Amino acid sequence: MLRFLNMKRIRSIYIILIALITTTGCKEDIQNTYSKYPAYFVCNTVSTIPQLNTALNSMGMFATIRYDREHFLFTDAEGKTTPMNATAIAGNANIQMGLSGFIVGLPNIAELGYDTPLPICYDLSCPNCYTAYNITRSLQLQESGYATCTSCHRTYDLNNQGIINKGEVGISLFRYRITYSGNTMSINNR
């Protein structure tokens, strides 16, 4: 009887160890959907900014949003930029532009679980360069729905969750929560 109890105890310990190993074995491969970096930006005048208006209303189109202390710069894939005085965008006293700014747009592929594409927002910084070197390197927007890093030479697919399309294996683009309704776009990751 004592031998049976010891075998049962050993088997229980073995099962617990296997369960612990399998649940922690893939921990490094998991990436959260949304970034941990703070982001807050609201624009109530989307229709007056051609690059932003196009990106949020046309599938497969994207624009970048950067801040240079005096202006917000909205740039499309062709390089056309609309500067807007920082004081002209109300409610941005507490702006937080993520690491380098934002890439926003309406992907041409709907996310899993949705029937239609919804606006999406990524950080403008290359996540792999930032993770490896703790340096923000801004991505270059391409006309075909991609963004490339001139340093690590990875290309990210903006229409497909920001995954790497070309280059070394790595993590997808950092992503932020975004809402767009009427004439107001809000990015909020707090």
20-50: pLDDT as tens digits: 555 544 444 455 788 999 999 999 999 999 9
Residue 18 has pLDDT above 80, yes or no: no
* Of the candidates 180, 187, 176, 186, the residue with the CA atom closest to the CA atom of residue 35: 176
pLDDT tens per residue across span 128-160 = 999 998 889 999 999 889 999 999 999 999 999
Left if phi > 0, otherwise alpha if psi is -120 to 50, otherwise beta: which for 182? left
Could you give the percent of the chain with pLDDT greater than 90?
66
Residue 65 has pLDDT above 80, yes or no: yes
Residue 4 has pLDDT above 70, yes or no: no
Which run of H or of E encompasses 19? Answer: helix 2-24
Tell me the three state secondary structure of residue 78.
Answer: coil
* Of the candidates 88, 97, 91, 92, the residue with the CA atom closest to the CA atom of residue 125: 97
Residue 187 β-bridge partners: 41, 178
Structural tokens at position 129 = 């360069």
Q: For position 143, what pLDDT does the model report?
A: 87
According to CATH, what is the number of the domain 33-188? 2.102.10.10
